[in-house]
Structure 1
Amino acid sequence: MNITIVAGARPNFIKIAPIIKAIEAAHTAGNQINYRLVHTGQHYDKNLSDTFFEELNIPQPHANLEVKSGSQAIQTAAIMVAFEKELEQHPCDLVLVVGDVNSTMACAIVAKKMHIKVAHVEAGIRSGDMEMPEEINRIVTDSITDYFFTTSTTAGENLLKYGADKNHIHFVGNVMIDTLLGNLDRIKKPDFWEAFRLEKDNYVILTLHRPSNVDEEQSLVKLLQGIDNMCEGKKVIFPIHPRTKAILGEQNLNLKNILFTEPQGYLNFMYLIKNAFAVITDSGGISEETTVLKIPCFTMRTTTERPETQTIGTNTLVGVKLENLASAYTSFLKNGPRDSGIPELWDGRASVRIVEILLRK
């Protein structure tokens, strides 16, 4: 079996790393399975892309489509054109896509139109929010997928509602957690740890990147000032996305607690998460990692495609209003972290299960 694996953005790199390791192990054991890694170039900043290949020991891609940024339509179209040429030159038996970025949907469409089967890792997750570009990507990808690999039973139930064949749905666990558990002994302090006088539990991690939170300058400024006041007594480490940094410009925000840093590599960022007092984010993936690491997480969104991080894990969905975040954070300070657990099959072996299933196809 020849598999083309697609990666385009930071979350994809984290998810493909253990899958590649599992394929290589299966090949070494004598199984007829090979892969070709295609990087679409959707994330092309070194700290958002190349660093992850180096840190997670992912082999250099066999091809980089170098599509870079653009509007949703421009980027998606560029990926499709380039990926079609890639598959024409390097045919395969299966295209494996992960997550829900533009690269995921675009490459799935191209593969199906070329009569190549598609496997979707992290299939079936749904937020119910059609204003999220990722939700559209998920629905379109799953509508043409042949093999669904899910992180939860809820994701499988979602797929059944959409008419997926139950025999093609495989509950395997979470490949993001494979990477986390496989690298916990390698995480390391960022360079600014001593300079910022960081210690375990004396800081909060902040990440913001969704348009609803960062695209309007004055709203973003008010949000940052509110979080700065709310976290009095704790440092707030904010690895700022290049686009968010450009929106803020050079203005002086007079922040007492928030400390800006460049985007962090995986090993540095996981060290920060593991030792944080709490995390404030609008990311879905981070709520999975904080759940396993038992770190309280406050997600500034009105919906989540990962409900198990709330019902079982450490995540609290607080909406997009500062006052709701402040209320939840104050309750946490008063009452401490709530009881939490780790979702089923988030045990570090999801990638092995995926490869075992593919070898039976």
Structure 2
Amino acid sequence: MMQISKGLKCIKLTIIAGARPNFMKIAPVIHAIEKFNAKRKQMEYRLVHTGQHYDRNMSDMFFEELNIPEPDVNLGVGGGTQAEQTAGIMIGFEKELMAHPADLVIVVGDVTSTMACSIVAKKLHAKVAHIEAGIRSWDLTMPEEINRMVTDCLADYYFTTTELAGQNLRNAGAKDEQIFFVGNVMIDTLLANINRLVKPDIYNSLSLKEKEYIMLTLHRPANVDEADKLKALMNEIVAHVHGLPVIFPIHPRTSKIFFELGIAADNLHIVDPMGYLEFNYMVKHAKAVITDSGGITEETTVMDIPCITLRDNTERPETCTIGTNELIGTNPNAIKPALDKLFAGEWKKGGIPERWDGKTAERIVGIIILHTKRL
């Protein structure tokens, strides 16, 4: 790798965002680039929104809340099957990258956009940096796991959240000089906004009290695609939370089946998807979170909120070994014992993983400046 000297022109970056988890990850990177450029401009970037999430509450709102500039382009891909989305993103991004060549394409996380744009970039001979590289669930039934593995096969630079992620990459053949243990950009965003969180209207309208309600999110196929399974999970949750309100911001994927099932309980409150600042306000003040998300388990770990994860595996094991998360599987019968433990005051005390300190994006930008090869 060669160091960039002061005399060279700006590095041209293309930053990809496609779905809700991406926006929280690109925000601190953009802020770090702008902070660096304020002293000495060495980077130009284009922000490409693939449009993979097309519901306003799942995408556009995050640009406003997190102070991210409007995208330079929105590919407007929208919904469809995995193959349809992948194809649409690749077709749109190929035209974008041909019209606006980049020295480095930055992809984040593990959504369809991450994989699709990495493939396009490499075929057009652009270098690729993967933020949140190397995490693995080893479950190939998860589309996200395939996206991670394909992206990591193609990337030139790997920015990792943990040492374990780096070891996963080495085991797959990546070289030490490609791997940078920088920390977690999701936590950069959380810590930067922790004092800006917004109490949603439902907090007062439902007369909620701190530590006296449960937050719930469900969207994974194993939990929501089979009607009987979803109904059983919901029944177990509402029956064993000691009457506390369960606040359920419903994912568009989940709502398709949920509202056909007639699930109802006095303590179950279905709400629309929330913005970042409102959702994390609710998490911060909850007694616990029940989820099948990956990113939420990271946020609960840093906020020291008990987290019950309805999955058989996780690509973020540090949230269990170090943090406040417990993986209980997808069997509805596992919910009551976990909630009994919570209400008995026996939930474990968590810690915060190394380098989850709010400075990850600064490390990433510094590394890009020092180590990006010019084409």
Q: TM-score, normalised by structure 2?
A: 0.95
Partner of 1:323: 333
* SS of match in other structure, 1:88: helix
Partner of 2:302: 292
* SS of match in other structure, 1:192: helix
- Equivalents in 1 of 2:61, 2:326: separation in Å? 30
User: Quick one: which amino acid aligns to residue 192 of structure 2?
Assistant: G
Which moves more between the two structures, 246-255 or 102-111? 246-255
**Aligned counterpart for 2:83 among listed residues 73, 79, 83:** 73
Given that 2:247 and 2:268 are in contact with CA atoms closer than 8 Å, whether structure 1 keeps it comes out as yes
**Aligned counterpart for 2:125 among listed residues 103, 115, 119:** 115
Q: Which runs of 5+ in 1 are unaligned?
A: none
CA-CA distance at 1:250 after TM superposition: 5.2
Deviation per residue, 1:88-126 (Å, 9 max, x gap):
111110000000000000000000011100000000000
Taking only the aligned residue pairs, the percentage that are identical comes to 57
CA-CA distance at 1:249 after TM superposition: 2.5
User: Quick one: which amino acid aligns to residue 357 of structure 2?
Assistant: D
- Equivalents in 2 of 1:175, 1:8: separation in Å? 16
* SS of match in other structure, 1:110: helix
* SS of match in other structure, 1:283: coil
Given that 2:227 and 2:261 are in contact with CA atoms closer than 8 Å, whether structure 1 keeps it comes out as no
Partner of 2:217: 207
CA-CA distance at 1:246 after TM superposition: 1.9
Deviation per residue, 1:278-308 (Å, 9 max, x gap):
0000000000000000000000000000010
Is 1:272 the counterpart of 2:282 in the alignment?
yes
User: Quick one: which amino acid aligns to residue 154 of structure 1?
Assistant: L
Which moves more between the two structures, 178-187 or 247-256? 247-256
- Equivalents in 1 of 2:41, 2:71: separation in Å? 22
Q: Which runs of 5+ in 2 are unaligned?
A: 1-10
Partner of 1:310: 320
**Aligned counterpart for 1:347 among listed residues 353, 357, 360:** 357
- Equivalents in 1 of 2:264, 2:254: separation in Å? 17
RMSD: 0.9
- Equivalents in 2 of 1:54, 1:126: separation in Å? 31
Partner of 1:96: 106
CA-CA distance at 1:251 after TM superposition: 5.0
TM alignment of 1:143-158, pairs within 5 A = 143-158=153-168
Given that 1:231 and 1:257 are in contact with CA atoms closer than 8 Å, whether structure 2 keeps it comes out as no
Is 1:167 the counterpart of 2:208 in the alignment?
no
Deviation per residue, 1:207-256 (Å, 9 max, x gap):
00001100112321221111110112211000001221121235532312
CA-CA distance at 1:258 after TM superposition: 1.2
Given that 2:215 and 2:282 are in contact with CA atoms closer than 8 Å, whether structure 1 keeps it comes out as yes
Is 1:19 the counterpart of 2:24 in the alignment?
no
* SS of match in other structure, 2:344: helix
Is 1:3 the counterpart of 2:13 in the alignment?
yes
Moved over 6 A (4+): none
Given that 1:124 and 1:142 are in contact with CA atoms closer than 8 Å, whether structure 2 keeps it comes out as yes
* SS of match in other structure, 1:66: coil
User: Quick one: which amino acid aligns to residue 150 of structure 2?
Assistant: V
- Equivalents in 2 of 1:82, 1:251: separation in Å? 38
Count of residue pairs brought into register by the alignment: 361
Is 1:260 the counterpart of 2:270 in the alignment?
yes
- Equivalents in 1 of 2:165, 2:88: separation in Å? 30
